[in-house]
A and B are shown apart, each in its own frame.
Chain A
């Protein structure tokens, strides 16, 4: 059984509730278990906000496609006006073992995505950046 949903969003933080509505609707339609939902929701939010924050003055929108094929959920997020920024290696590793005095807010989003997804692939072609994520589900 394959379930797929997709949406196009404007490049602004105000779009985030609409992005998460798409994800919630997908969860219901794809009958995802509660335990499988958190990492997927988090990954979509973190990649979307990363796209917005790294190019807030960009002109084109951001698309999201999310799909369940049996025990695998795959997500494709595409920023149609993206500078080259490889989310798999360009984001610095946050100092997670540093004491409180040496920690600063920020820099955790993509780290969490890398921790919580099974695979993450980045592509940059014709000015568009695409992040492909996958996660096994029960």
Chain B
């Protein structure tokens, strides 16, 4: 299961497993963003390289407008994946 919902402060809340089988669904949301967003990872159990690719594509697109994604409540496992990928240098992780 993987879900993307909007929270009370217009943040995006990811829940479940963001794997290769979910990447297309996530792309339609992330690549449609018109402005920077906070993305809440507190309910996200898992992300693979396919999910990382979607986040990177969105970050690149937003950066052209001077905007960005800000990631919050990132678990230690997912922080490790971000670190190994160099994503801790290109995303603000609060």
> Residues of A at under 8 Å CB distance from B?
13-14, 16-17, 20, 35, 38, 41-42, 45-46, 49, 94-101, 103-106, 108-109, 111-112, 115-116
Contacts and interface: CB of A to CB of B under 8 A. Distances in A.
A69 B20 CA distance: 29
Interface of B: 17, 19-21, 46, 48-50, 52-54, 56-57, 59-60, 63, 77, 80-81, 84-86, 89-90
Contacts, number: 69
B84 A38 contact: no
Given A16-B21, A45-B48, A111 B56 contact: no
A99 B90 CA distance: 7
A22 B20 CA distance: 16
Nearest to B88: A96
B49 A108 contact: yes
Contact of B48 (A46, A96, A101): A46
A42 B46 CA distance: 8
Contact of A109 (B21, B48, B77): B48
A108 B85 contact: yes
A101 to B, nearest CB: 8
Q: Which of A16, A41, A97, A103 has its CB near the most chain B CB atoms (within 10 A)?
A: A103
A120 B89 CA distance: 27
A46 B81 CA distance: 13
